[in-house]
Amino acid sequence: MLKQALAQNGLIAILRGIRPDEAQAIGQVLYQAGFRVIEVPLNSPDPYTSIRTLRDSLPADCLIGAGTVLTPEQVEQVKAAGGQVVVMPHSDAKVLRAAKAVGLYLSPGVATPTEAFAALAEGADVLKLFPAEQMGPAVIKAWLAVLPAGTLLLPVGGITPDNMQVFIDAGAKGFGLGSGLFKPGMTVDQVASRAQAYVAAWKALS
C-alpha cells in the first residue's frame, strides 16, 4: 500500500515538532492538498498521540508513519498508536526486523550503496536518501543503475518546489518534505499554502 500511495502522490509530509492539538487540522489540509503519506518524527511533542489523532481522523488511503525511529521498542509503540510506516534516519537491521515482524512499512535512511543493498535485503519498501543536500541528483542516477529495478529512492532534506526537477530527471520517484512544508509555529493556512505549492510542482513534473 505504501508504493500505491506514493504512486498517487510521491510526496511525504514530515511534521517534525507538531503538537497533538494541531495534528488533526494540519492533517486535513495536507490530505486535501493531495498528500497520502504523513510522518510524525518521534522527537516531536507527544508523537504517539499525534500519530493516533492523524490515523483516527484521516481516510484509510492516507498512511500515517513515524519518523526518527531508532529502537525496536519504539517500533512497538508506533504500532500501538496506529502507525503504519517506520521512517528512520539510518538503516539499523534490528529496527527494520522489528518493524517487519509487526507488519509495518519500512523506509530506512541510506547514504551509501552498501546501506541501500543491506536495507533492501531486510525488506525495505522504499529508501530514504538522506541528507539529499549532500548527495545530489548524480548520486541517485548512479545508485539506480545498480540497485534492483523498481527501487524507490526518495531524497529527503532541502527539497523545494523549485529543485524537484533535477532529482526527478535523475530517477527519484518521490520526496520527503520537512521544514519547507511544516515548521513549528506555522498556521494551518500557511501549511495548506505550502502543501498546495509542493503538490502543484509535483503534478507538473511527474
Give pLDDT tens digits for 13-47.
999 999 999 999 999 999 999 999 999 999 999 99
Domains with residue ranges and CATH for the chain: 1-204 (3.20.20.70)
pLDDT top residue among 135 and 182: 182
pTM, to two decimals: 0.96
E strands, the chain, are: 11-14, 37-41, 63-67, 85-87, 105-107, 109-110, 127-129, 153-155, 175-177
84/97 Cα distance (integer angstroms)? 15
Is 39 in the active site? yes
| DSSP type of residue 163 | T
Annotated catalytic residue: which of 76, 79, 94, 128?
128
Annotated catalytic residue: which of 39, 73, 76, 94?
39
What digits encode the pLDDT tens for the residues 171-198? 999 999 999 999 999 999 999 999 999 9
Question: Among 175, 177, 110, 176, which Cα is nearest to 147's?
Answer: 110
Mean pLDDT score, 140-145:
96
Question: Among 14, 37, 162, 165, which Cα is nearest to 89's?
Answer: 14
What digits encode the pLDDT tens for the residues 66-91? 999 999 999 999 999 999 999 999 99
pLDDT band at 133 (very low <50, low <70, confident <90, very high): confident
Kindly report each contact of residues 84-92 with a partner whose C-beta sits within 8 Å and lies 24 or more positions away, as own/partner.
84/1, 84/2, 84/55, 85/2, 85/37, 85/39, 87/12, 87/14, 87/39, 87/41, 87/128, 87/176, 88/128, 89/128, 89/130, 91/115, 91/118, 91/119, 91/122, 91/124
pLDDT band at 206 (very low <50, low <70, confident <90, very high): confident
Is 115 in the active site? no
